[in-house]
Structure formats: C-alpha cells, structure tokens
Amino acid sequence: MNVLETMKKCIREALPDLDMVMGWEQGFDTLHATPLFMETAEDVDRLILGPTCVQSLAVHLPSLKGKKIGVVVKGCDSRAVVQLLSENLLNRENLVIFGFGCDGVVSLSRLKKKLGALDFIESAEKKDDRLCIEINGEQQDLPFDDICAPKCLTCSRPNAIISDHFAGPQRTPRIPAKGKTALEKFEEKSLPERFDFWKAQMQRCVRCYACRDSCPMCVCRDHCVAVSRNPHFVSQEATASENFMFQLIHVMHLAGRCVSCGECERACPMDIPLGLLRAKSTEVTSALFNQEAGLDQEAVLPLLSFNIEEETIEEHD
C-alpha cells in the first residue's frame, strides 16, 4: 500500500470519532491543491498527498477549538501544531494528527518565473528529483530544487514531528547546501540599500492581509491590531510606512513563535520576501533564548513567561 492509501485507511478508521479531518484535494488543475474537509468516508477518496499540497492546514485549527478535528500535516505544518499546543490554543485530546514524510512542495511563484504563465496545465507529477509537467501541450522536465519552495531546500524536519498516525516511510532531512543563507546574503548590503529595498517592497504591498490570514500563528483573527481603531497602531492608508508598520507588527507578534513555515511568503500575491523579516526575528530570538519555536509542546516560551533573570542572557556585568 502506498503512502496515500495508508493515509486514507487511517483517516477512514478515525473519522467516525471525529467531526472532520482536514487534508488536501486536487484543485482546478493538477498543479493546484485545495484544502479538503473530510466529514464522510466518501470525502476521503478525494484526498491527495504530494508536492502540490502546499497549504498549512494548521491555520484553521485555533478557530475549530472545541471540535474534534483531524489534520494531515507535513513536517513544517506539524511545527505549527506543536506551537499552537504549547500556547494552549488547541486541546490535544480533541486533535488527531495524521503525519507523513514530505518530499518537498512546489513554489508556484518560482515555477511561474521559470515557465511564464501557468495556464493550461495538463499534468504535473514528481518523479524522483524532477518535476514533469505538461503545459500548453508541451512536456517540461524541471529539476525539483529549481522550483520547490525555498524552505524545502534547507528542510531539516520533513517528517511530522508530532502525530497520532504516521503514513509511509520517514524521509531523511536535507543537509543544507554550504554557503550563505538568504538572510546572510541580504545583510551584506548596506543599510541604505536595505532600506531602499524594503521601501520598494512595502510600496508594493497591497495590504490584502493574505500573509496574516495564512499564518498559523496569527490567532487574533477579528481583533487584529491592523484594523483596530483603539488601539490605533496603523491606519488604512496604504503608504509604505503604514504597510511597513503592519508588517513589522506581524513580525514582532511572531518573535519567538514563528515556525518558519513560509506560508506568509507563499500566500503573498505580490511576492514580497516576507520570510526574510521572519528569518531575522527568529535569528535574534534563538540567539537570545537558545530556543526554537514549535519543537516541544511542553516548552515554556521565553517571550510568554516571566523570569527575573533569563538563563541565557547575561544581564549584569
């Protein structure tokens, strides 16, 4: 039995005790997957697993607190689940986690850069380390690393780190390629260069809030400060400074919590490299507190606790 069939079997067995199980199904073509909410055994037939299952379904979990929910997770998605559990935003007993080993997911924006428009996809299939895609009647065979999500290139946790059912074999983590990370490369630029870069990026931001809505760690929902008048942190004016204020608030709210799932960047219709901002904040918080988010559901999060003295920070000289 392959991974998909094993997974389907697991879900069918668990479904009677659950209100719903979340997974993916094929969207309008084979390159696009869309979330699938399975309530009956027939729904389970439509489940798919593969490189197109890009969305982190963990984003829906906090709003479903109180229901008995199953969720299918990749390695990166599972970190979000762990983080939400550690913040007490989910009840573990109401949650059934279906994990599997992920081979990486495609980045539609990278693919689009390679192929131009992504219309008329006939088929898309991953074969070993290549993606075979039939587009406009033409057969394309692309190295997967060229079109996968950037996070997959350095993925150290392809397997769900928390799961009640695990389908298929465990995948071996990627050994990150030698050389500088995107953040390190970016930080080599001078301050004015970086400022100009962000100014330009923030001028492009349309404040659609896709980054916020796709973020599994954004849990304020209807009460987001971005749209609040009291307190009035940001106005609705779509200027670079107000947009930047919003983006920085988002980063601050994720400090020490961001699980680096890359959903913000994936969801951004303007392809703004939001991951860079988060990578920086993660770098700072992990250097300060020697802790990474979303790895241990029992962890006491440094910014969500109070200590007179932080063990990892020398406060007196």
Partner 1 sequence: MHIGVFVCHCGSNISGTVDCPQTAKAAGEFPDVVYSTDEMYTCSEPGQESIIRAIKEHNLDGVVVASCSPRMHEATFRRTVERAGLNPYMFEMANIREHVSWVGRDKALNTRKAIDLIGMAVAKLRNGTPLFSERFNVTRKLMVIGGGVAGIQAALDAADSGIEVVLVERETTIGGKMAKLDKTFPTIDCSSCVLGPKMVEVAQHPKITLYAASEVDNVSGYVGNFTVQVRKRAVYVDWDACTGCGLCTEKCPSRKTPDPFNELIATTTAINIPFPQAIPKKATINPDYCLQLTKGKCGVCAKVCPVGCIDFEQQDKIEEVQVGAIVVATGYDLFDYSVYKQYGAGKLPDVITSLQYERLLNASGPTGGHVLRPSDGAEPKHVVFIQCVGSRDKSKGRAYCSSFCCMYTAKQAILTKSHLPDSQSYVFYMDIRSPGKGYDEFTRRTQELYGAQYIRGRVSSIHQHGSSLVVRGADTLAGMQVEIKADLVVLAVGIEPSRNSQKLAATLHISADTDGFFMEGHPKLKPVETNTAGVFLAGCCQGPRDIPTSVSMGSAAAAKAMVLFSNEQLESDPQVATVNATRCVGCYKCVKTCPFGAILESEDRWKNPKAEVLPTICKGCGICSVTCPHGAIQLNHFTDNQLLAEVNAICPLPTI
Residues that bind partner 1 (CB under 8 A): 87-89, 199, 202-203, 219-221, 223-225, 228, 230-233, 239-241, 253, 303-306, 308, 316
Q: Which of 217, 210, 245, 212 is nearest to 231 (CA)?
A: 245
We find the least distance from the C-beta atom of residue 163 to partner 1, in angstroms, to be 25
We find the least distance from the C-beta atom of residue 89 to partner 1, in angstroms, to be 6
Give the DSSP letter string of 180-232.
Answer: --HHHHHHTS-HHHHHHHHHHHHHH-----HHHHH-TT---GGG-GGG-SSS-
Residues contacting residue 3 through CB under 8 Å, at least 6 positions apart: 49, 100, 101, 167, 168, 169
The torsion angles phi and psi of 96, rounded to 5 degrees, stand at -120, 125
Exposure of 169 by Cβ count < 10 A (0-12 exposed, 13-18 middle, 19+ buried)?
Answer: exposed
Closer by beta carbon to partner 1, 65 or else 171: 65
Residues contacting residue 10 through CB under 8 Å, at least 6 positions apart: 98, 165, 167
d(CA 36, CA 195): 41
We find the least distance from the C-beta atom of residue 15 to partner 1, in angstroms, to be 29
CA angle 158, 163, 167 (to 5 degrees): 70
Per the DSSP assignment, residues forming a β-bridge with 100 are: 167
d(CA 239, CA 251): 18
Closer by beta carbon to partner 1, 48 or else 303: 303
We find the least distance from the C-beta atom of residue 249 to partner 1, in angstroms, to be 8
Closer by beta carbon to partner 1, 165 or else 278: 278
Closer by beta carbon to partner 1, 178 or else 316: 316
The torsion angles phi and psi of 200, rounded to 5 degrees, stand at -65, -45
We find the least distance from the C-beta atom of residue 225 to partner 1, in angstroms, to be 5
We find the least distance from the C-beta atom of residue 235 to partner 1, in angstroms, to be 10
Closer by beta carbon to partner 1, 98 or else 244: 244
Closer by beta carbon to partner 1, 239 or else 312: 239
Per the DSSP assignment, residues forming a β-bridge with 126 are: 131
We find the least distance from the C-beta atom of residue 179 to partner 1, in angstroms, to be 33
Closer by beta carbon to partner 1, 270 or else 304: 304
